[in-house]
Structure 1
Amino acid sequence: MDYTCLFLFSVCLFGGCVASPPNFVLLFADDLGFGDLGCYGHPTSLTPNLDRLAAGGLRFTDFYATSPVCSPSRASLLTGRYQTRSGIYPGVLYPGSVGGLPLNETTIAEVLKPLGYATAAVGKWHLGFGANGMFLPTKQGFDQYLGIPYSHDMGPCWNLTCFPPDVKCFGLCDVGTVTVPLMHNEVIKQQPVNFLDLERAYSDFATNFITTSAKKKQPFFLYYPSHHTHYPQYAGPRAAGQSLRGPFGDALFEFDNTIGNLLTTLEETGVINNTLVFFTSDNGPELMRMSRGGNAGPLKCGKGTTYEGGMREPAIAYWPGTIRPGVTHEMASTLDILPTIASLAGAKLPQVMLDGVDMTQILVSQGMSKRETMMFYPTDPSEMYGLFALRLGKYKAHFYTRGATHSGTTPDHDCPVFAVLKSHDPPLLFNLESDPSENYPLPLIGRPDLQDVLDTIKKVKEQFEATMVFGESQISKGTDPNLEPCCNPQCSPKPSCCQC
């Protein structure tokens, strides 16, 4: 079926055909757990705007990222491909990383550009900076960018203010690195960044982009990967002290406020009924930070692990008049966002191996998912070990398990880094519908039906791994301090002189 016809059919189905292509607003939280939002059951989170999206849109219960850490998860979101294909592994990119998301990878922005879309990114990029900023969003299909090109803890933060009037940031962060820069397109606007004003700057940039695009009657794609709620949490005067949840809750509330500003702008410019707003997170909570690290709800472990708490995320799709309010238990993933946007916009898919599937039927009719499986790679995937886990339908099999530093401090002994790598033969098998906490491995003795399930999972794993061609590891290319962004590139001594 022609993609354009499919889109027109979808929106006409719910009343009111539109002549112009749809707009897309993609919201991506950082280190947010499955149990962190009010609409997902947290008793003290203050998230009225996200709760409004959930009440008026479609809330997912079985939505997955592709990695339990930042950079690889973001690569998969923007390309519709597992991070192993693009080479964004092992771990994450750093300020001085030589590599980055390869320029021959096709992002969502690059899919939409041929159709005349205005594209903008605001917030945390974390897909590389590189020599002369060669991996920045403006080199990957985005017309405009305002943000920090990596994680905001990747720089000395102990003497910076995270909460008013002058509450210093929690923890040490990275020392011996340049202070965190705020970039506009390819130019450093501020170094070090002022955390108290950062979210307001993001909100103003994003709302202006929407307003300008709407006035021009130009379809747009806004990608907003927030720094909230990654450590160290921060919040400006309007959010600090407003939640019952302390610094983490205040940071989440500030993020929610920006989302509210975006929704108001969509309404005031008259484009809200022609805009898909999609929200999710990059990976699970950093439990080692305890009350300041997020909450995985009923799910096991968190960031850094291939248990559900590390990779199952809250997700909400909102599109008034097109998406009916409800809850879906269908399986979906960040991988599916690129093919879905391409389908709805009538864009051509990249001519490469994609791992995502089109979610349109889930969104417009709460239909069945085309996704039957989800693959779980660790933070350091390798061809020798392959997949750590695989979900098929309601069943999940763990071939390897391992804890992570990010998931320390919890009472569950399977979560911290002291839970060393274990191989499981036969694999641990869980029914995620009855046991989403992965507490009770299913007994295989006397259960030929479960043995059949496991045999099928093994075949699917074998078939998938036969198609997986690992791209050259971009992170293994190493780092060069001279590549760290500095607003005074000729100054000395670095990094202390990099201030403006």
Structure 2
Amino acid sequence: MGLLNIIVLFTLLIPAYRAVSLPNFVLLFADDLGYGDLGCVGHPTSLTPNLDLLAANGLRFTDFYVTSPVCSPSRASLLTGRYQTRSGIYPGVLYPGSKGGLPLNETTIAEVLKPLGYATAMMGKWHLGFGANGTYLPTRQGFDHYLGIPYSHDMGPCHNLTCFPPDVKCFGHCDTGVVTVPLMYGETIKQQPVDFVELEDSYSSFASEFIRTAANNQQPFFLYYASHHTHYPQYAGWKSVGRSLRGPFGDSLLEFDSTVGNILQTLKETGVLNNTLIFFTGDNGPELMRMSRGGNAGLLKCGKGTTYEGGMREPAIAYWSGIIQPGVTHSLSSSLDILPTFARLAGAPLPKVQLDGVDMTDILLNHVPGKREAMFFYPTDPSEKYGVFAVRMEKYKAHYYTRGAAHSDTTPDQDCHITSFLKQHDPPLLFDLESDPSENYNLSPSEHPELASVLQKIQALKDQFEASMQFGESEVKKGTDPALEPCCTPQCTPKPECCQCGTMGR
């Protein structure tokens, strides 16, 4: 009987022990942040001390890619580990009144972790659909808690709002004819329009409370902070405004960094920092059309909206105190790889669908080359007719099609502009990204016959990938309905002018 009692007691203790031993995950996702925007990568006037600290004491990625040069499809791939073409988040992005959204049969990181007992929370920009009665909100996609804006914060009339204290108006007019931007807590609108000046303090409080509650309950947690920074129009509160040397963009970036610092401080105070993997990256390249109010792609070509390096290569950092050794990795990696990596570290089974992500655990823990063979670059409007626009394999990148974008206008490089129309390249343009990350010097096979085998390997990978791709029904093409735009007083008229209410409170 004594042995039996010990076995029963041990069996009862296993769940509690497992919960304590499971790692926590904090996923930080910036908005329209360029490859050259952080202080740790050399920007002379960006003030990002907390992100720089993570980079100095963690693993910094030099060759990290997202799957789209615009918001919604990139976010879908991040959370599902699958290209946006599979989930149907294309072409372009979702809007306040979009009928579609991230399909509920897609499995998010939160839904992978929840069965293991994880507490899950998201704050910030969702941009994967709202839908009828909040059908596509984060709370329907595995997140226990949500505080944020369900789409991009420029998707509303912001010209009459304050972006910087004490009373500096937002620069520009953003969208018109739609409801004012709502702040949601769970599935309830708490404030409409959003108070940008106080917003980041609300996020910091939300994150601290969530982490403290999970730590006190000895429950593993997943926090997804999808920041609105540094998307246009930039904003910042009292603690950040005027503190950077980079104007409104720099103040906005500093405020994002400050929220990261508050999260780090809470992890330390609750004693869970050493059991928490923090991963930082961004959704796509900088919106160069905004000039000094946009981001900076550094030495990379073009930016948001294009399949050049500046549109889809992002800064990325993995930090886990005492577990991940400081360093730099040149391994080809992607936002697609975050779901399978978190699943591996938590011991969670993978979704029973075709994933495009690969496990990065060996890169993180052992600093060895990763498993990713290639990265495939889709435009903002992918189609089966054209397929992928470019492929990266090892240090080489081949462009089968190129095209500029309005998001990348105003730069001296004419290839980036919207007037640079679609061009097919046969043979494809080929660049050595190790020696030429700016994609300036095409390696023509007629001048470099030794690269013929490289192009053959890239073509084989492209053919194999496209043969495996099944395009999902486009959620964006389902259209919009103004009646679906979230309003705190949904029966009021005239809409959208009447959709204003509330102050931040919980």
TM-score bin (small chain): over 0.9
Taking the aligned partners of 2:452 and 2:432, their CA distance within structure 1 comes to: 13
The 8 Å contact of residues 86 and 471 in structure 2, kept in 1 or not, is answered as yes
TM-score (norm 1): 0.96
The alpha-carbon distance between structure 1 residues 18 and 195, as it changes in their structure 2 partners (threshold 3 A), is closer
Specify the alignment match of 1:130 in structure 2: 131
Give the AA of the match of 1:171: G
Specify the alignment match of 2:199 in structure 1: 198
- SS of the aligned residue for 2:317 comes to strand
- SS of the aligned residue for 2:414 comes to coil
The 8 Å contact of residues 18 and 274 in structure 1, kept in 2 or not, is answered as no
Taking the aligned partners of 1:260 and 1:178, their CA distance within structure 2 comes to: 33
Asked whether 1:401 is paired with 2:402, we answer yes
Q: Give the CA deviation at 1:491.
A: 0.2
The 8 Å contact of residues 20 and 218 in structure 2, kept in 1 or not, is answered as no
Matches for 1:40-189 after TM superposition, within 5 Å: 40-189=41-190
Specify the alignment match of 2:271 in structure 1: 270
Taking the aligned partners of 2:144 and 2:308, their CA distance within structure 1 comes to: 37
- SS of the aligned residue for 2:207 comes to helix
RMSD: 0.9
The 8 Å contact of residues 299 and 437 in structure 1, kept in 2 or not, is answered as yes
The 8 Å contact of residues 68 and 306 in structure 1, kept in 2 or not, is answered as yes
TM-score (norm 2): 0.95
Q: Give the CA deviation at 1:19.
A: 5.7
Specify the alignment match of 1:450 in structure 2: 451
The 8 Å contact of residues 20 and 219 in structure 2, kept in 1 or not, is answered as no
Taking the aligned partners of 2:241 and 2:457, their CA distance within structure 1 comes to: 51
The alpha-carbon distance between structure 1 residues 19 and 125, as it changes in their structure 2 partners (threshold 3 A), is closer
Taking the aligned partners of 1:383 and 1:226, their CA distance within structure 2 comes to: 32
Give the AA of the match of 2:317: I
Q: Give the CA deviation at 1:443.
A: 2.2
Instruction: Summarize deviations over 1:288-325 as a string: whole Å, max 9, x none.
Output: 00011000000000000000000000000000110000
Give the AA of the match of 2:440: N
Runs of 4+ in 1 over 3 A off after TM superposition: none
The alpha-carbon distance between structure 1 residues 18 and 58, as it changes in their structure 2 partners (threshold 3 A), is farther
The 8 Å contact of residues 19 and 219 in structure 2, kept in 1 or not, is answered as no
Instruction: Summarize deviations over 1:407-435 as a string: whole Å, max 9, x none.
Output: 00000000010100000000000000000
Taking the aligned partners of 1:379 and 1:316, their CA distance within structure 2 comes to: 25
Matches for 1:380-391 after TM superposition, within 5 Å: 380-391=381-392
Asked whether 1:307 is paired with 2:308, we answer yes
Consecutive unaligned residues of structure 2, counting only runs of 5 or more, are 1-17, 502-506
Taking the aligned partners of 1:344 and 1:272, their CA distance within structure 2 comes to: 16
Specify the alignment match of 1:11 in structure 2: none
Taking the aligned partners of 1:18 and 1:432, their CA distance within structure 2 comes to: 43
Asked whether 1:345 is paired with 2:307, we answer no
Q: Give the CA deviation at 1:459.
A: 1.1
The 8 Å contact of residues 19 and 218 in structure 2, kept in 1 or not, is answered as no
- SS of the aligned residue for 2:416 comes to coil
Give the AA of the match of 2:401: Y
Give the AA of the match of 1:183: M
Taking the aligned partners of 1:281 and 1:428, their CA distance within structure 2 comes to: 27
Taking the aligned partners of 2:191 and 2:272, their CA distance within structure 1 comes to: 33
Instruction: Summarize deviations over 1:184-242 as a string: whole Å, max 9, x none.
Output: 00000000000000000001001110011000000000000000000000000110000
Asked whether 1:316 is paired with 2:310, we answer no
Consecutive unaligned residues of structure 1, counting only runs of 5 or more, are 1-16
Fraction of identical pairs, as percent = 76
Give the AA of the match of 1:494: K
Specify the alignment match of 1:222 in structure 2: 223
Give the AA of the match of 1:311: M
The 8 Å contact of residues 401 and 422 in structure 2, kept in 1 or not, is answered as yes
Q: Give the CA deviation at 1:449.
A: 2.0
Specify the alignment match of 1:325 in structure 2: 326
Asked whether 1:485 is paired with 2:483, we answer no
The 8 Å contact of residues 395 and 432 in structure 1, kept in 2 or not, is answered as yes
Give the AA of the match of 1:177: V
Taking the aligned partners of 2:352 and 2:409, their CA distance within structure 1 comes to: 41
Taking the aligned partners of 2:458 and 2:320, their CA distance within structure 1 comes to: 35
Q: Give the CA deviation at 1:341.
A: 0.1
Give the AA of the match of 2:163: C
The alpha-carbon distance between structure 1 residues 18 and 137, as it changes in their structure 2 partners (threshold 3 A), is closer
Instruction: Summarize deviations over 1:456-488 as a string: whole Å, max 9, x none.
Output: 111110110000000000000000000000000
- SS of the aligned residue for 2:147 comes to strand
The 8 Å contact of residues 287 and 302 in structure 1, kept in 2 or not, is answered as yes
Instruction: Summarize deviations over 1:19-66 as a string: whole Å, max 9, x none.
Output: 610000000000000000000110000000000000000000000010
Q: Give the CA deviation at 1:448.
A: 2.8
Asked whether 1:238 is paired with 2:272, we answer no
